[in-house]
């Protein structure tokens, strides 16, 4: 087999860079104290497949083996992950291009639980280098901005501000739609990155010299604010005021006021009178 371009963007090389950016595994002491463990390699791959399928993918007993094969680019796993399913392809594509993407929400959860924020810029830089150095895809379009608009690969070099969630989803979407059968073409790249097990020697990312800003996609706080306002309103005493109609102009208005659970204190001289319940108070 002829040598492919290095670095080569495919599912396996994408997964490899994600794994390099994951949060450190929780030690056993913290885990015993109830703190959640970081995602394993197979859990990472399972979540990527789930994002593609827009539902929870279980993986089965072979998940660990298949994860290793996918990561080192020895197998495209088209049948196992249903990467070639036309209906799944179409649903995923339409969802990514929509303004209310399920996949984007799933990716946001994935980033929050798994990716180390201190390594966001490293991850983006490595992926950008693979895109910008690939002369075969310069006219291809990526959905990396989160607003359902596209950016051509040849124009990405002009962008220095990225939101991590739509950026990662856009890369995964491109791989699913364009290179899902080509995972084996990333084998040379993986071998260059890992000449021996656990010994990363990759230099991908060095060609990106511009300063990058990588942030989390701003959350829509409108729903939270509405819930807070509604809760505050429910906690306050309810007072209903009913105004009587004016009989004649200039006459004083009669106001009937109903107050729930009211306590009235009448002070006259040395004695205080407490009235705990009253049906109607005419003012």
Q: What is the pLDDT of residues 241-267, one digit of tens each?
A: 444 444 444 444 444 454 555 555 555
DSSP string, 48-99: HHHHHHTS-----TTHHHHHHHHHTTS---TTTTTTT-HHHHHHHHHHHTSS
Residues 156 and 266 both lie in one domain = no
Q: Is residue 230 part of a domain?
A: no
Give the whole-angstrom CA distance, residue 182 versus residue 177.
11
Residues 261 and 164 both lie in one domain = no
Q: Is residue 196 part of a domain?
A: yes
Mean pLDDT of 119-128: 98
Residues 205 and 271 both lie in one domain = no
Mean pLDDT of 224-230: 41
Query: Containing domain of residue 275, as a range?
Result: 237-282
27: confidence class by pLDDT, cuts 50, 70, 90: low
Can you tell me which residue has the tokens 């006459």? 251
Q: What is the pLDDT of residue 24?
A: 81
Going by their DSSP bridges, the two strands 271-275 and 281-282 should be labelled as unpaired
Residues 42 and 172 both lie in one domain = yes
Final residue belonging to a domain, choices 174, 190, 221: 221
Q: Is residue 128 part of a domain?
A: yes
Q: Is residue 25 part of a domain?
A: yes
Q: Is residue 130 part of a domain?
A: yes
Q: Is residue 201 part of a domain?
A: yes
- Asked if the bond preceding 7 is cis, omega within 30° of 0, the reply is yes
- Specify whether the backbone of 33 is left (phi greater than 0), alpha (psi in -120 to 50) or beta: alpha
Residues 217 and 243 both lie in one domain = no
Residues whose CB falls within 8 Å of the CB of residue 208, separated by 6 or more in sequence, listed in order:
125, 128, 129, 132
Domain count, the chain: 2
Residues 261 and 161 both lie in one domain = no
Spell 248-271 as b/e; 16+ CB within 10 A means b: eeeeeeeeeeeeeeeeeeeeeeee
Spell 5-16 as b/e; 16+ CB within 10 A means b: bbbbbbbbbbbb
Does residue 160 surpass a pLDDT of 60?
yes
Does residue 237 surpass a pLDDT of 80?
no
Mean pLDDT of 54-61: 94
- Tell me what percent of the residues of the chain surpass a pLDDT of 90: 66
Q: Is residue 34 part of a domain?
A: yes
Does residue 233 surpass a pLDDT of 60?
no
Mean pLDDT of 90-119: 96
Lowest model confidence (mean pLDDT) among 106-115, 145-154, 184-193, 202-211:
145-154
Residues 248 and 157 both lie in one domain = no
pTM for this entry: 0.74
Give the whole-angstrom CA distance, residue 19 versus residue 43.
11
Q: Is residue 74 part of a domain?
A: yes
Residues 203 and 254 both lie in one domain = no
Final residue belonging to a domain, choices 192, 221, 250: 221
């Amino acid at each position: 087999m002829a040598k492919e371009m290095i670095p080569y963007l495919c599912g396996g090389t994408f997964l490899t860079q994600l794994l390099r950016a994951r949060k450190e595994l929780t030690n056993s002491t913290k885990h015993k104290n109830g703190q959640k463990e970081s995602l394993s390699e197979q859990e990472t791959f399972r979540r990527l497949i789930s994002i593609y399928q827009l539902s929870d993918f279980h993986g089965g007993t072979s998940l660990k083996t298949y994860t290793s094969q996918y990561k080192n680019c020895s197998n495209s796993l088209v049948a196992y992950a249903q990467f070639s399913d036309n209906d799944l392809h179409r649903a995923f594509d339409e969802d990514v291009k929509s303004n209310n993407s399920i996949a984007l929400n799933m990716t946001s959860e994935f980033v929050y639980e798994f990716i180390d924020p201190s390594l966001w810029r490293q991850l983006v830089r490595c992926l950008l280098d693979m895109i910008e150095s690939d002369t075969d895809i310069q006219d291809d379009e990526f959905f990396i901005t989160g607003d359902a608009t596209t950016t051509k690969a040849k124009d990405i070099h002009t962008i220095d501000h990225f939101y991590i969630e739509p950026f990662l989803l856009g890369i995964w979407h491109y791989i699913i739609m364009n290179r899902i059968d080509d995972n084996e073409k990333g084998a040379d790249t993986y071998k260059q990155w890992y000449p021996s097990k656990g010994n990363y020697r990759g230099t991908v990312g060095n060609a990106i010299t511009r300063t990058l800003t990588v942030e989390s996609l701003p959350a829509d706080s409108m729903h939270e604010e509405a819930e807070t306002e509604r809760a505050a309103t429910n906690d306050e005493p309810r007072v209903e005021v009913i105004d009587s109609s004016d009989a004649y102009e200039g006459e004083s208005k009669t106001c009937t006021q109903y107050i729930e659970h009211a306590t009235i204190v009448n002070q006259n001289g040395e004695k205080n009178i407490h009235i705990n319940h009253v049906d109607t108070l005419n003012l």
